[in-house]
Amino acid sequence: MAETDVAAASLFGADRRLCSADVLSPPEVRARIEVAVLNFLAALSSPSSPSISILPLIARKSANCSLRSGLLSDVSSVYLSYAFCKRSLMRENDAKAFVRVWKVMEMCYKILGEGKLVTQRELFYKLLSDSPKYFSCQRHVNQSIQDVVSLLRCTRQSLGVMASSRGALIGRLLLNVCEPEEEHIDCSILGPSGHAITGDLNKLSKLNLCSDARYLILVEKDAIFQRLAEDRLYNQLPCILITAKGYPDIATRFILHRLSQTFPNLPIFALVDWNPAGLAILCTYKYGSISMGLESYRYACNVKWLGLRGDDLQLIPQSAFQELKPRDLQIAKSLLSSKFLQEKHRAELTLMVETGRRAEIEALY
């Protein structure tokens, strides 16, 4: 698409070099939804050539993805540029997706008007009750939310959709909560489950953080997190432990980014398995994801790999290795085709594929 067509193709203009999602107030988001509705009605009621307008969405594909490096930091993040995909009622395979976008915008408009927040799961049940013909599974809702983000250029939180958090943290960190009442949480005296991370990014952004830690350690698995917490690792090695219990959710990525901004001298290490999924988790924390490319820069951190590497494999027994599964190979293929995978990480991934093996952190016990 030519640069002169960008403003005409999108509902809301911005920096033409890259796309991003804005953090907006409820009135601002509702105004953008109203603009989308007015544009639709204007096209439909045009005296000369009435039509059902298409929805121009920023394409969330690898072909439209690049890596953005910070000028004053060593943090890089995924970003999307101005290439568009379209949702149209007139395409057979696109009609339901077109309607879903409007249904989600309608529901978000109501939620914002009521001053509420909902999780993606809660939104699914609302839409399932309201429009079961169009929302038969959670995936339909998740994809439609990303479509709305791409259309309105605002974050999911701005739409009133709260992150569903599984994350937890523990260690040398004091959380000062000011609202609704003042509370101080010392994360160094908690049980092995740690402090549950709320999915409300507004609350996370208002936390006052104090720490004397020297390291931030991301832990892929909850079982490993709890093992390290039981051993009180953070008393022997001054650190903050954080986990999303698998693939990173937005809230965990958000609080990690806040910690990295508040304590810029703390190195961040990711303790992950030696397998394609572990490397994919590390890359998500480090760069963000294509599916959320409009928001990735808000959560990206300079994360380093901590754990098993190819050079360490002789240290573990042969019985600890497992064969790569089809899902592992699928993830590996996707990562190897990525533009932003570092060469040292590419070498590790290639070794996994060539040997057909993987190893989990538990092998070091």
Residue 108 phi, psi dihedral angles, 5° rounding: -65, -35
Given a contact cutoff of 8 angstroms between Cβ atoms, the answer to whether 329 and 277 are in contact is no
Selecting among 79, 109, 125, 287, the annotated active-site residue is: 125
> How far is Cα 174 from Cα 240, in angstroms, rounded to an integer?
10
Q: Which residues neighbour 7 within 8 Å (Cβ) at sequence distance 6 or greater? A: 13
Angle at Cα 112 formed by Cα 24 and Cα 101, nearest 5°? 85
Task: State yes or no: is 125 an active-site residue.
Answer: yes
Q: 3-state SS of the chain?
A: CCHHHHHHHCCCCCCCCCECCECCCHHHHHHHHHHHHHHHHHHHCCCCCCCCCCEEEECCCHHHEEEEECCCCCCEEEEECCCEEEECCCCCCCHHHHHHHHHHHHHHHHHHHCCCCEEHHHHHHHHHHHCCCCCCCHHHHHHHHHHHHHHHCECCHHHCEECCCCCEEEECCEEEECCCCCEEEECCCCCCCCEECCCCHHHHHHCEEECCCCEEEEECCHHHHHHHHHCCHHHHCCEEEEECCCCCCHHHHHHHHHHHHHCCCCCEEEECCECHHHHHHHHHHHHCCCCCCCCHHHCCCCEEEECCCHHHHHHCCHHHCEECCHHHHHHHHHHHCCCCCCHHHHHHHHHHHHHCEEECHHHHC
Given a contact cutoff of 8 angstroms between Cβ atoms, the answer to whether 307 and 273 are in contact is yes
User: How far is the first Cα of the chain from the last one, in angstroms, to the nearest whole number?
Assistant: 54
What residues act catalytically? 125
